[in-house]
Structure 1
């Protein structure tokens, strides 16, 4: 373990994300004094020294005060959002915040260096709001006069998996091939450990050290590899390299991206959105020679990072369920909304007749039919939205158990009706429980 400079303090912005979390923990393991900041940390990431702060809404004066009060020497900016949507503004996160951060550094009176996580590629190929605002932030940093290092990692491979990294694992575990065009795209990966080692290398140098100042480095393995080649290494780990595979039609990618866009407006953060597909089709490539020469880091290949490791059962379950999770949520929402709508609007008389036929108290037939239908639709609507999904799933399980108990008391013969509607409620409860247990994103 390398020994960090105990007098140097580091601020990691976005410390709950894939890169930010690993970097924060890695720097602490190297004996650096690190403050990790995120809007919210999951309970599993709760660590002394981390702060929950609405950093993106802070003005330059507040940011400057934070830098002074904490005695910060290096800011690692890992903040980023993939696409515009409710609560996500690429320009606000990538460009406007960076502008305030640079102003805050100048106001703080401290010699603070910025290590900024950006994206590889040529500016001429920036066609999404994500890539364009990332590049605008680079331009602001380069012109600011602040000491900086712009780090442009390739496809990041880490022990954890969110978003795109989770999607590639799912494709490998489920033995699905991408269309030929996407499969052959250049896709140079980088181990998150090499990103952390680079930031540690920067942290051990003064802000005026020319070796790590005013640099823009591509961080990735130098060996040429395609997206299909990366997935092949995951397949080797999962043991699916020789399994039968189906090729996903190109239109399914585009359809999935559109559905992902719709889901994002409901509060979800699906990995497959139009920006993700556009960036995937652009490819991930760069030239890491300057980075390697300056730092002496020899980047690990995707084979060394993941391909030689045997996947654990945790890896396999996660990868297999990653894409199925969206199907579970969508099907449960559709089930509850459709069942309530059909009983209330399309087949009200038939629904009421079922209760009457099974000797349900006549005075309760109408109210119960209408009330249960409205409750069903309300549960489905709650499940649709990410913010209320937990409440919807819990309510769905509770209502289902209530239906089963009520039927057992008032109309026990419903349990033996030919279509077995109540018998099928048990598996539905189990599915809702599985959806609830896999709802976490990180």
Structure 2
């Protein structure tokens, strides 16, 4: 088995990372390819950072030849269009180049493509329709393929929707009743990896698995409420009384999530996520089970039989708070700078005047610090520059505190305690910096 080489596209994602690591543990030689890998994900010399979506068919063909690839696993996917995310480019255009490259390689390569369950008739989002277009391209290509349509994937790590389920389990809130009643068949990440390993061990010429499309999930019908309940059992919160969010608030949250995605953030609550949630996750895994003999893990096995550890609880509780923390810091810096510059400029400048600052410096300092504050807020608002903004905010706050202690020490004892409150603001920015990572 060890002589088989599997190349995984999307090796930094929830499914791709787990599959890469698990298949290596099963004895396969696995080349993990991603556009960007965190330092913790670079586990092997075979973990490669490449501009995947910029690779043409010829470059892909060379990649397969350089690494003597036997199986290509495509785990690439984006939920929604936005800056740096284009469903057509990722789901359709890349797959078109991928099947061409496999066909041109002159090698016996099987393509394993991770898609989504459901039918084309029920597809309503760009995410779903482009995923289905990719399936049609693969089926018409003539190359050996297996299209895997996992249900809701539960892995040891949490990202996106799976992180949101953990947050629902750890907090006294529920989604609206209609969403909680949506069908929600799930699958363990281990079962996906086991299926890929099973396929990789088969000869590419095996006619029984030359062109297959399987739903991968537990066969028993279950709702989202049933899945969340199992998480709540693990978190020890199953007996809590909860408040169900009204649908209008969920829809508003999705709109805010869409706006945040244009700033580079990847919130789990966006229009596409809610639309796919309301559609539900369902399928028929009988063909998959019959062909591979794999017994899908039970709900308890998938989520975990043991109580959640403290790190699980901390993550789940902070997951929803993260957006609130970042948004409040953005508002804090932008609004405070705006007020000082446009609303209460004379009062802000008057503080310096009252402490005998040279008149020639009063306006430049007031304007400069106000613009600096607003700039920090803008930096925090964009995901790409958020860390820079948070560090700048911490340094600016410390500068204000030290400067006030030297030049205007009486401000430390003014009735509203503006400078005293700067300390907790620094701590909040530090917390935001510590939980900034998504993976």
TM-score (norm. length: structure 2): 0.98
Find 2:312's aligned residue among 312, 315, 320: 315
Write the deviation string for residues 211-239 of structure 1: whole angstroms up to 9, x where unpaired: 32211000000111100111111111111
Measure how far apart 1:169 and its partner are: 0.8
Q: Does 1:411 align with 2:423?
A: no
Are 2:201 and 1:207 equivalent residues in the alignment?
Answer: no
Cα shift at 1:365: 2.4
Q: Is 1:229 aligned to residue 232 of structure 2?
A: no
- How far apart in 2 are the matches of 1:129 and 1:319? 29
Q: Please report how far the alpha carbon of residue 210 of structure 1 lies from its aligned counterpart in structure 2 after TM superposition.
A: 2.5
- Among 118, 122, 133, the alignment partner of 1:121 is 118
Residues in 1 aligned to 2:396 and 2:337: alpha-carbon distance in whole angstroms = 13
| Alignment correspondent of 2:394 | 397
Is 1:386 paired with 2:383?
yes
Provide Cα deviations, 1:73-101, integer angstroms capped at 9, x if missing partner.
10000000001111111011111111101
Q: Is the 8 A contact 1:188 1:222 kept in 2?
A: yes
1:348 aligns with 2:348: no
Q: 1:32 aligns with which of 21, 28, 37?
A: 28
Counterpart of 2:302 in structure 1 is 305
**In 1, distance between residues paired with 2:353 and 2:418?**
16
SS in 1 for 2:274: helix
What aligned pairs does 1:335-374 form with structure 2 within 5 A after superposition?
A: 335-374=332-371
Match of 1:82 among 53, 58, 79: 79
| Alpha-carbon separation, structure 2, partners of 1:191 and 1:166 | 15
Deviations 1:76-129 (A, max 9, x none): 000000011111110111111111010001110001000100000111000100
Measure how far apart 1:53 and its partner are: 0.4
**1:361 shift after superposition:** 4.5
CA distance in 1, matches of 2:105, 2:176: 51
CA RMSD after TM alignment: 1.0
- Asked if 1:112 is matched to 2:123, the reply is no
TM-fit CA distance, 1:168 = 1.0
Per-residue displacement from partner, 1:39-89 (whole Å, max 9, x unpaired)?
A: 010011112111000111111011111111211110000000001111111
Distance 1:365 1:261 in 2: 41
Contact 1:358 / 1:414 at 8 angstroms: preserved in 2? Answer: no
Matched, 1:20 2:16: yes
| Aligned-pair CA distance for 1:305 | 1.6
C-alpha separation between the residues in 2 aligned to 1:51 and 1:114? 19
Q: CA deviation at 1:180?
A: 1.0
Q: How does 1:274-285 map to 2 (within 5 A)?
A: 274-285=271-282
Q: Does the residue aligned with 1:82 lie in a helix, a strand or coil?
A: coil
Q: Secondary structure in 1 aligned to 2:215?
A: strand
Aligned-partner SS, 1:291: helix
Q: Do the aligned residues in 2 keep the contact of 1:222 with 1:288 (CA within 8 Å)?
A: yes
SS at match of 1:10: strand
Secondary structure in structure 1 of the residue aligned to 2:283? coil
Which of the residues 240, 244, 258 maps onto 1:243? 240
| Matched residue, 2:100 | 103
SS of 1:62's equivalent? helix
Measured after TM superposition, the shift of residue 370 of structure 1 is: 1.2
Partners in 1 of 2:260 and 2:133 — Cα distance? 28
Instruction: Determine the C-alpha separation between the residues in 1 that align with 2:358 and 2:308.
Output: 57
Shift of 1:435: 0.1
Matched, 1:158 2:155: yes
Partners of 1:260 and 1:301 in 2: CA distance = 32
- In structure 2, the partner of 1:182 is 179
SS across alignment from 1:76: strand
- Cα offset, 1:371, TM superposition: 1.2
In 1, Cα distance between equivalents of 2:303 and 2:135: 31
The answer on 1:46 being equivalent to 2:42 is yes
Aligned match of 1:137 in 134, 137, 145? 134
Matches within 5 A, 1:261-280: 261-280=258-277
Question: How many residue pairs are counted as aligned between the two chains?
Answer: 438
Secondary structure in 1 matching 2:219: coil
- For normalisation by structure 1, the TM-score amounts to 0.98
Aligned residue among 311, 314, 321 for 1:324: 321
Query: Matches of 1:301 and 1:176 in 2, distance apart?
Result: 26
Residue in 1 aligned with 2:419? 422
- State whether structure 2 residue 7 is matched by structure 1 residue 11: yes
Q: Name stretches of at least 5 consecutive residues in structure 1 with no aligned partner.
A: none
Aligned partner of 1:375 in structure 2 is: 372
Q: Report the secondary structure of 1:115's partner residue.
A: strand
Cα deviation for residue 31 of structure 1 reads 1.1
8 Å contact kept, 1:359–1:411: no
